A = this chain, B = another copy of it.
Amino acid sequence: MINKHVSSAAEAVRDVFDGATVMVSGFGEAGSPIELIHALIDQGATDLTVVSNNTGSGEVGLAALLKAGRVSKVICSFPRTANSTVFPDLYRSGKTELELVPQGTLAERIRAGGAGIPGFYTPAAVGTPLADGKESRQFDGQEYILEHGLKADFALIKGQVADTHGNVIYNKTARNFGPPMAMAANVSIVQAIQVVEPGEIDPEVVVTPGIFVDRVVEIANPVHESVLVAEGVSYP
């Protein structure tokens, strides 16, 4: 009997430890596991390194985790939003470090981390400031830089439907970073609108196979970040 179903978001993030590296899925609000992030704020872990494409909106979700002072470093491709000053303030005051990574390099570094590939060469960022200090070499007369696989202690991911073996399907463009992050984290935690029994997801359409997922929690009615931001909510 295998059952990865846990009873609550709080239970799902119980063992995130101070200093952990945490990957957080989402591109904007699509795929952002906001209930898991809020549970992590409540749980209290601090000095986190967060790997995520963005840094959140308003003062909820990822922005709230940052605002609570729990994040010492973000690895990110686009830490700016029109409606949040949380990260900019932390960055300018030197409280949160930023490792800026081109979006495709970020996605591939995460996949590589999950696939046991410690390094790979990419043409992205060659000749730009983001290549500073990086090894480069030529293949077939073209220049590439060496990038390193990225792993994490935990991943917080938003899915649509998960089964108790950890198989996951996603909703539209909410898929984004979920599948590679599930691969790259030691403990991958998925919140889904529905948790079902094994066999209820067709094996042909599984996007993230259960081997990459450690815990699933049902959040039947997830809040939308944009709604909370419009309402001026500040978590907690």
Contact = CB atoms under 8 A, between A and B. Distances in A.
Interface of A: 108, 112, 115-123, 139-140, 142, 144, 148, 169-170, 172, 204-205
Contacts of A115: 108
Nearest to A122: B117
Contact of A120 (B119, B142, B172, B204): B119
A148 B120 CA distance: 10
A224 B217 CA distance: 43
* Copies of this subunit: 2
A142 B116 CA distance: 12
Given A116-B123, A170-B204, A204-B205, 19 more contacts: A108-B115, A108-B117, A112-B120, A116-B122, A117-B120, A117-B121, A118-B121, A118-B139, A118-B140, A118-B142, A118-B144, A119-B120, A119-B121, A119-B139, A120-B120, A139-B148, A169-B204, A172-B204, A205-B205
A211 to B, nearest CB: 15
A119 B122 CA distance: 8
Contacts of A140: 118
A141 to B, nearest CB: 11
A118 B123 CA distance: 9
A142 B117 CA distance: 12
A121 B139 CA distance: 14
Nearest to A142: B118
Nearest to A144: B118
Contacts of A121: 117-120
Contacts of A108: 115, 117
- Give the one of A122, A148, A169 with max B CB within 10 A: A122
A135 to B, nearest CB: 10
A70 to B, nearest CB: 27
A131 to B, nearest CB: 16
Nearest to A170: B204
Contacts of A204: 169-170, 172, 205
Nearest to A139: B118
